Structure 1
Amino acid sequence: MNKPLFFVLWLLAVTESFAQISSPKVLKKEFLFTEGSYFKQCHASTIAQAADGQLLAGWFGGPHEGSREVAIWGIRSEGKKWSQPEIWADGRLSDSLRYPCWNPVLFRAKNEKTMYLYYKVGPNPREWWGMVKTSEDNGKTWSEAKRLPNGILGPIKNKPIELPNGEIISPSSTELNENRWMAHVEISKDHQQTWKSYPIDPSSKFNVIQPSILMHKDGRLQVLCRSKEGVVATSWSKNHGKNWSALSATRLANPNSGTDAISYKDFFLIVYNPELPGKEWWEGRTKLRLAYSYNGIDWQDLMSLEDEQKGEFSYPTIFKDKKGWVHITYTYNRVNIKHWVLKF
């Protein structure tokens, strides 16, 4: 390649990686239910669009995180209103044995009607197991709960993505103990009937969980992970998630709190807490931002969702609907779920 042409291509790449995009228009900003009417605390929301176009949203709620009474709650959009929250799943094993539920994830493949509700049940994140329910009527009713096979946890916090070849790749992770966290993906080639697990850099110095997955134009996959090391960590795959590069740090801060990211047209979006870890696990969650990138490496803040001195605004999820509108939900002080709708 001659030098002038190489320079032009390099300049285009650099320009694209830093090109400004306009702030999105805020179409809606709301809370999803009446605070204190159904449970004392809630956390870890999820949102998806059913085949009929209506939105479904879910979270776990109960007296407090880890209580055996914590269940998966959900609502369905009904025109301009949301339905009243109802319990979609619980951790009851028998009349005398019940465990808490954790981290629901709603997902529907592009050309399928079936809505999947993945969630975890167990005494804590080190001992929990994966569960799944399905709905064939757009979230109005749900099937009996089914336990996922040993070694398969399902999506831990963030949604799966569907690859062009039809495979479903689910971002997951394990908390082996208080000092060791590891991320992996689970891939299904048969419409979410069976899964196979693939590790993400298991010997890394990074302790990572709760990845989200981005798909690049050249076919590469990228994960962005929560870490204990004060940064959002990233890894790359060139073979549809079967093998992953060494984890490395991005320039995005992470106070040991969940993030979520999606591909949107020709750029990527991430929702994250822009703080460093504090002495306690809940510190660093008073600010929440939306950032964008053209290459998954260079990120720039786009807008502030929350900016307070006290409080917890955490565990965001981000989703693009059929209209191209972007939906963001997140925990609001553990007492409600806040929902934004943005138009780019």
Structure 2
Amino acid sequence: MEEFERRVEAAGGRADFVFGKDRPFAQCHASTIEQTADGTLVAAWFGGTKEKDDDVGIWISRRVDGAWTPPVTAAKIEAHAHWNPVLFTDAEGATHLFFKVGPEIPHWRTHWMSTEDNGVSWSAPLELVPGDAGGRGPVKNKPVILSDGAWLAPASTELGDWKPFADRSEDRGKTWARSADFVIDKTVLRGKGAIQPTFWESSPGNVHALLRTGAGRVWRTDSADYGRTWSPVYATPLPNNNSGLDVLAFGDGRLFMVYNPVGVNWGPRTPLDLAVSTDNGGTWTTVAHLENDPDPDSEYSYPAIIRTKAGIAVSYTYNRDTVRCWDIPLDALK
């Protein structure tokens, strides 16, 4: 057991697997985690034969009395692949599940459903933006609730070039206003572009995004008007292996990020690190290696990070065999 895991356990937390080898699907990926209004941790992911296959659906599990419930299908609405679930609890205490549906990423559609009993039952899925193809709403990471009450969802499309943008709702998800695509100078950021933003608000109206790219680095953009318009994207020193990352604004001036610190396009998805920033994302310090397997063929990827009543929780793909979850108390983060 690594030192950080011992510290987490000593503080009353844990790192465990959501399910084991008796899973009802061959592979899984793209987990998301949320804490419902009553404190229950809920995890979701897509699972099936393999990513993109027609049998892939959205699965879900709840942690009840200290143990994860067996995985059950949360959504399988048509005979095409389902992708990238995103859980999100709003200010009124309702928890929502967004996900993509479609045989190909460039033309997938976003659906969403909600629970008001802490994940026991869910509403029928609805299209988020009826008639849209390409992906409105959150593409991988959770929306944030801004200081003006709006939901801001980190979004991107992959029809040809990769184009990130922000989707804003002022009526609890009933309607959405899309920003322009973030401006990318293709003479500087070469390749397809950037996708899968992760957002935080540092002060009223000032919103920031880190972005996955194929350029070996995390890129960034900033907004001064609650996510309506954005600066041109610019490079950060953070390495990126063209895989997803996620950031959490903790509320005390600290940002926490989970990512693969690998600066090679399509490089290994190991190690997986938890890092902290105290200067609004200008610099980062490693808190711990959540996974540090030296085997370049191992995969610890697509993390999600949230604030919980006790501290933070992190979930991620574990070799496409299972989902690992860390429940990290405040005392372990000091």
The TM-score, its normalising length taken from structure 2, stands at 0.89
Q: 2:120 maps to what in 1?
A: 140
Q: Does 1:188 align with 2:169?
A: yes
Contact 2:139/2:155 (8 A) holds in 1: yes
- Counterpart residue type for residue 269 of structure 2: R
The TM-score, its normalising length taken from structure 1, stands at 0.87
**Alignment gaps of 5+ in structure 2:** none
1-side partners of 2:63 and 2:287: how far apart?
Answer: 28
Q: Secondary structure at the match of 1:126?
A: helix
Residue from 100, 105, 108 that aligns with 1:120: 100
Contact 2:23/2:71 (8 A) holds in 1: no
What's the CA shift for 1:301?
1.5
Larger radius of gyration: 1
Q: 1:18 maps to what in 2?
A: none
- Matching of residues 191-340 of structure 1 within 5 Å: 191-205=172-186, 206=189, 207-217=193-203, 219-264=205-250, 265-278=252-265, 281=266, 283-294=267-278, 295-310=280-295, 311-323=298-310, 325-340=311-326
Aligned residues between the structures: 310
Contact 2:246/2:257 (8 A) holds in 1: yes
Contact 1:183/1:211 (8 A) holds in 2: yes
2-side partners of 1:37 and 1:241: how far apart?
Answer: 40
1-side partners of 2:253 and 2:243: how far apart?
Answer: 27
Q: Does 1:173 align with 2:156?
A: yes
What's the CA shift for 1:175?
0.6
**Alignment gaps of 5+ in structure 1:** 1-22, 93-97
Root mean square deviation of aligned Cα: 1.5
Contact 1:200/1:243 (8 A) holds in 2: no
Q: Does 1:85 align with 2:109?
A: no
Contact 1:161/1:168 (8 A) holds in 2: yes
What's the CA shift for 1:134?
1.2
1-side partners of 2:111 and 2:176: how far apart?
Answer: 13
Give per-residue Cα distances to partners, 1:131-188, cap 9 Å, x unaligned. 11111211111111111222652200000010111111000100112xx101101000
- State, as a whole percentage, how many aligned pairs show the same letter: 37
Q: Secondary structure at the match of 1:216?
A: strand
The 4+ residue runs of structure 1 with deviation greater than 3 A are none
- Counterpart residue type for residue 232 of structure 1: V
- Matching of residues 86-101 of structure 1 within 5 Å: 86-92=72-78, 98-101=79-82
What's the CA shift for 1:290?
1.0
Q: 1:20 maps to what in 2?
A: none
Q: 1:109 maps to what in 2?
A: 90
